[in-house]
Amino acid sequence: MRFLDDYRDTLQPANQPSLQGVPRAHAPEGAIARPDKATLEAHLARRQYGPFTLTDAVRPGWQLDVVPRAGYRHDAYVDPRSGTRLPALVAAVSSEHLFETFLRLLEPLGDTLDVVLETSHEHKTDHDDFTREGIERLVLESVLWDFEDLLLDDGCTGIAVMHPELQLEVQLDEHKLLVVYAQQRAPFEKILAEQGIERNDRIRFISQAEHLHTSHTRFARRFDDMVNRLGAGL
């Protein structure tokens, strides 16, 4: 079971592209007009917010309704048909620790995993999914290391890694947030604590306000390479 599409309560409708290299922007209804190009480009160049460093994949809106910071909170996925709740964790991790933390969160999933790669390179509001079932975790991690740049710095790429039978899933989404779905959150919270990520159930994430996703044509090619390496298919 996978939930890559389902953590959408914080996402806003997509607007038209603004600058070259910024495929789409998410903004709440009633957001005021953007600044001039020079101001926005200077904002896009900023990566550091106190001790927190962004990847190149996403930027907050220029008004900074949400200031990026590290932390995690409890959340839940609610099945719209049955009303069943599945506990979740959502975490923001500074870029220098993000990839390591993602890999560590895969450990409780077991030795054989299913993977879904998500791309929105060819879409403004939708995406395509590529699935590989039954891959050994060590093999998967080797591939992930080879595509660390794509996973961290491309705002059009997301990945979900799942236990093949249990309701256990870890995502690194397009916002470069870590999302965990698990009935028992304790093993994942322990890992986050070991990584120095503190719980803060009042934290707000970059996806909850106006924000910009960035990408590049080379990442579209890199995504295709990763799909081929994993042997994933639509």
- Please indicate whether residue 8 or residue 51 has the higher confidence score (pLDDT): 51
Per-residue pLDDT at 124: 53
In a domain? residue 23: no
Instruction: Assess if residue 90 is contained within a domain.
Output: yes
In a domain, 18, yes or no: no
- Going by C-alpha positions, the residue among 119, 123, 69 that lies closest to residue 224 is 119
* Predicted local confidence at residue 177, as pLDDT: 97
Q: Residue 1: pLDDT above 60?
A: no
Range of the domain at 171: 38-230
Among 23-27, 113-117, 134-138, 160-164, the minimum mean pLDDT is found in 23-27
CA distance 12 to 10: 7
Considering the entire predicted model, what is its pTM?
A: 0.83
- The per-residue pLDDT for 83 is 85
pLDDT (mean) for 54-65: 89
- Evaluate whether residue 180 is within a structural domain: yes
Percent of the residues in the chain that have a pLDDT greater than 90, as a whole number? 62
The full 3-state SS of 35-92, as one line of letters, equals CCHHHHHHHHHCCEECCEECCCCEEECCCCCCCCCCEEEEEEEECCCCCCEEEEEEEE
| More confident: 167 or 33 | 167
Least confident stretch, 21-30, 64-73, 169-178, 185-194: 21-30
Residue 182 phi/psi, 5° resolution? -165, 140
Task: Output the pLDDT for position 126.
Answer: 64
SS3 percent helix, strand, coil of the chain, rounded to 5, is 30, 30, 45
Residue 92, pLDDT score: 98
Q: In angstroms, rounded to a whole number, what is the distance separating the alpha carbons of residues 192 and 6?
A: 22
* Residue 75, beta-bridge partner list: 88
Which of 78 and 54 is assigned the larger pLDDT? 54
42-46, 64-68, 89-93, 98-102: segment of lowest average pLDDT: 42-46
SS3 230: helix
Spatial distance between the Cα atoms of 168 and 165, rounded to a whole number of angstroms: 8
Give domain status of residue 139, yes or no. yes
Q: Write the single-letter amino acid at 226.
A: M
82 vs 205: which has the higher pLDDT: 205
Question: Does residue 32 form part of some domain?
Answer: no
- Bridge partner list, 171: 160, 179
Residue at 9 is within a domain: no
pLDDT in tens, 82-130: 888 999 999 999 999 999 999 999 999 999 999 999 988 775 556 688 9
Does the pLDDT at position 33 exceed 80?
no
Paired with 86 in beta bridges are 77
- In this predicted structure, the answer to whether residue 211 has a pLDDT above a threshold of 80 is yes
Highest-scoring range by mean pLDDT, 8-17, 29-38, 222-231: 222-231
13 part of a folded domain: no
Q: What is the pLDDT of residues 3-20, one digit of tens each?
A: 333 333 332 222 222 222
- Looking at the structure of the chain, the number of domains it has is 1
Q: For residue 209, what pLDDT is reported?
A: 87
| Mean pLDDT, residues 35-39 | 79
